[in-house]
Amino acid sequence: MRDVEVRLGRTRALAGVDLVVGAGERVAVVGSSGAGKSTLLRLLTGAVRPATGTVEVLGRDLAGLPPRELRRLRARVGTVHQHLDLVGALRVVHDVNAGRLGTWPTWRAALSLLRPQGVPEVAAALAEVGLADRLYDRTDRLSGGQQQRVAVARVLLQQPDLVLADEPASALDPALTDRTMVLLRDVAERRGGTLLASLHDPAVALRHCTRVVGLEQGRVVLDAPVPALTAADLAAFYGAPR
Ligand SMILES: Nc1ncnc2c1ncn2[C@@H]1O[C@H](COP(=O)(O)OP(=O)(O)OP(=O)(O)O)[C@@H](O)[C@H]1O
């Protein structure tokens, strides 16, 4: 993205952001609450449009992309949203299958709501996140951490070229956090793709990412490869003493 500004209502959520992320990079987006991390990720899904500047995703300029092309592009972008974007009243199998709706014809997507399609692959993705036995549970009967893992399973099934994760481990304990980050890394790496994750824990950023981008009041104030950073450098972004 080049020289991007985003306004949300009266707030300038991002200002003058220049960021180029190459294939295969794993980028942690860090910063205090309200710094603009979610906005940055939502910009890359086309959910938020810039007031000025350009945003390119997987080599396509999002401005003026016809809806059909935008849908195709979105099918190549896997997202774990901060608020998970799951349908609680559905069975887990349907919520996970939503990961590939973008690549299915409409008739198959509709049919899948009546009779789930491709159940073995869904079961395999759920097994990877440790929820093999929850295939037919209602999603809203699962705990917050389990729902977060359903959202990860959906991305595993989708096999996208770009993975965006907004605090993907906020409801998980440390062991599950690491496991989830490894899964997200794997799914990005399988396709030679890229991972961008907003992360609240500096240690997780250092363990799992190759680069850290720090935001403050909508501006990029840190952009460094992980080997160049210390835990103290990062702690500053979370309000901890250096
Ligand atoms: N829908 C909205 N309308 C108006 N302002 C918004 C909206 N969404 C976010 N903002 C504002 O934009 C700024 C950036 O918000 P954003 O959600 O990107 O921050 P964040 O770094 O992801 O925060 P958090 O860590 O708390 O999730 C904040 O000042 C926020 O109040």
**Residue closest by Cα to atom 5 of ligand 1:** 8
Question: Does residue 57 fall inside a structural domain?
Answer: yes
The closest alpha carbon to 46, from 9, 19, 71, belongs to 71
Query: Residue 214 sits in a domain of what CATH number?
Result: 3.40.50.300
pLDDT, position 94: 83
Question: Does residue 81 fall inside a structural domain?
Answer: no
201 and 150 in one domain? no
Residue-wise pLDDT tens for the chain (242 aa)? 988 999 998 899 999 999 999 999 999 999 888 999 999 999 998 889 999 999 999 999 999 889 889 888 988 999 887 666 666 667 888 878 877 766 766 766 666 676 777 789 999 999 998 999 998 989 888 888 888 889 889 999 888 999 999 988 877 788 888 888 998 998 888 777 899 999 988 889 999 999 999 999 999 999 999 998 887 877 776 664 44
pLDDT, position 90: 76
201 and 149 in one domain? no
Question: Does residue 92 fall inside a structural domain?
Answer: yes
Question: Does residue 33 fall inside a structural domain?
Answer: yes
Of 8, 40, 237, the one to substitute when testing ligand 1's pocket (max ligand atoms within 8 A of C-beta) is 8
Tokens 């992980």 belong to residue: 226
231 and 123 in one domain? no
Question: Does residue 237 fall inside a structural domain?
Answer: yes
Looking from the CA of residue 215, the nearest atom of ligand 1 is 21
Q: Pick the last residue of a domain from 159, 179, 213.
A: 159
234 and 114 in one domain? no
**Residue closest by Cα to atom 16 of ligand 1:** 36
Q: Pick the last residue of a domain from 142, 159, 176.
A: 159
242 and 171 in one domain? yes
pLDDT, position 80: 86
Task: Please count the structural domains in the chain.
Answer: 2
pLDDT, position 25: 94
154 and 118 in one domain? yes
Query: What's the pTM value of the predicted model, to 2 decimals?
Result: 0.86
- Boundaries of domain holding 46: 1-76+161-242
pLDDT, position 84: 60
Sign, CA dihedral 113-163-127-92, equals: negative
pLDDT, position 234: 78
DSSP letter at 141?
A: G
Question: Does residue 52 fall inside a structural domain?
Answer: yes
Query: Would you list the DSSP string of 59-75?
Result: TEE-TT--HHHHHHHHH
19 and 5 in one domain? yes
165 and 69 in one domain? yes
Q: Using a 6 Å CB cutoff, which residues line ligand 1? A: 8-9, 11, 13, 31, 33-39
Helix (H, G, I), strand (E, B) or coil at 163: strand
155 and 176 in one domain? no
pLDDT, position 88: 65
Q: How far is the CA of 8 from the centre of ligand 1 (A)?
A: 8
Q: Pick the last residue of a domain from 103, 128, 159.
A: 159
107 and 146 in one domain? yes
Q: How far is the CA of 192 from the centre of ligand 1 (A)?
A: 31
